[in-house]
Amino acid sequence: MAVKFEFYESPNTIGTRKKRYHARVVNRERISTDHLAQEIHHSSSLTVADIKATIIALSEKLAYHLKDGARVHIEGIGYFHISLTCPETPTPHSTRANNVKFKSVTFRADKYLKKQLADVKTERSKYKPHSIPVTNEEIDKGLTEYFLTHSVLTRRDFEQLFTLTRATAGRYITRLAKEKKLCNISIPHNPIYEPMPGFYGKEKLPEPEQETDTTTE
């Protein structure tokens, strides 16, 4: 078992003579809750139903305390806290509190978890980044899962979510914006996107009620 990776050009060196590259995981496999529950069940006396119920309860309590601004530590896993976003402003006094919104959940791994991963093996992927296509179905599924725990999306987030180059991620986002699936809520040169109503878990706006003709002949 090994983590497959590929090299990507670092964003701050694009367009410059001196280029630098960083390694990034390219395996898109997602392990589901059901999969984890089955694995835990086979290595313990717990039932799958009990395991899934515990995970749901943990998620609910985690959200409850994060909403209060708390930093939550789950021993052996890590620390969770929320990050915020707001429009760019020259002075804090010009930004109202209701313009500051939830951005995402930030995670920092526990020392125990890091120790468990210290001996991880790596190998370079036999596929180049530009040769790994992403289907529309993968994008829809990935963004729907992403927006379950995040309220906004940046180009960098999209790039990392689907293991894409900077340019390719930009093209995908531009297409999704033209298709009115994503909406830029920030300024053009620093876009921040949120899903349009009816997409990626955001409720569709109700249809306007048609007026009935109450006139009589």
Instruction: Tell me if 66 is assigned to some domain.
Output: no
Domain count, the chain: 2
Instruction: Tell me if 122 is assigned to some domain.
Output: no
CA–CA distance, 191 with 154 (Å, rounded to integer): 7
Burial class (CB in 10 A: 0-12, 13-18, 19+), 214: exposed
Instruction: Tell me if 46 is assigned to some domain.
Output: no
| Other C-beta atoms lying within 10 Å of the C-beta of residue 173 | 22
Instruction: Tell me if 81 is assigned to some domain.
Output: no
Contact 57, 72 (CB under 8 A): no
- The pLDDT score that the predictor gives to residue 21 is 79
Q: Residue 153 has what DSSP assignment?
A: B
Instruction: Tell me if 49 is assigned to some domain.
Output: no
**Which residue shows structure tokens 């249809």?**
207
> Could you tell me what percentage of the chain is helix, strand and coil, using 3-state DSSP and rounding each to the nearest 5?
35, 20, 45
What six digits make up the tokens of 11?
A: 């964003």
CA–CA distance, 138 with 200 (Å, rounded to integer): 12
Instruction: Tell me if 128 is assigned to some domain.
Output: no
Q: Which domain holds residue 173?
A: 133-205
- The pLDDT score that the predictor gives to residue 210 is 61
Instruction: Tell me if 137 is assigned to some domain.
Output: yes
- The pLDDT score that the predictor gives to residue 16 is 58
- Per-residue pLDDT in tens (0 to 9) along the chain, 217 residues: 788 887 877 766 555 567 787 888 877 677 889 999 999 999 999 999 999 999 999 999 999 999 999 999 999 999 999 999 887 777 777 777 787 888 889 999 999 999 999 999 998 887 665 556 788 899 999 999 999 888 899 998 998 888 787 888 888 999 999 999 999 998 888 899 999 999 998 887 676 666 555 555 4
- The pLDDT score that the predictor gives to residue 3 is 85
- The pLDDT score that the predictor gives to residue 19 is 75
- The CATH number of the domain holding residue 186 is 1.10.10.10
CA–CA distance, 30 with 162 (Å, rounded to integer): 12
CA–CA distance, 64 with 74 (Å, rounded to integer): 14
Sign of the four-CA dihedral 6, 10, 13, 14 = positive
Instruction: Tell me if 12 is assigned to some domain.
Output: yes
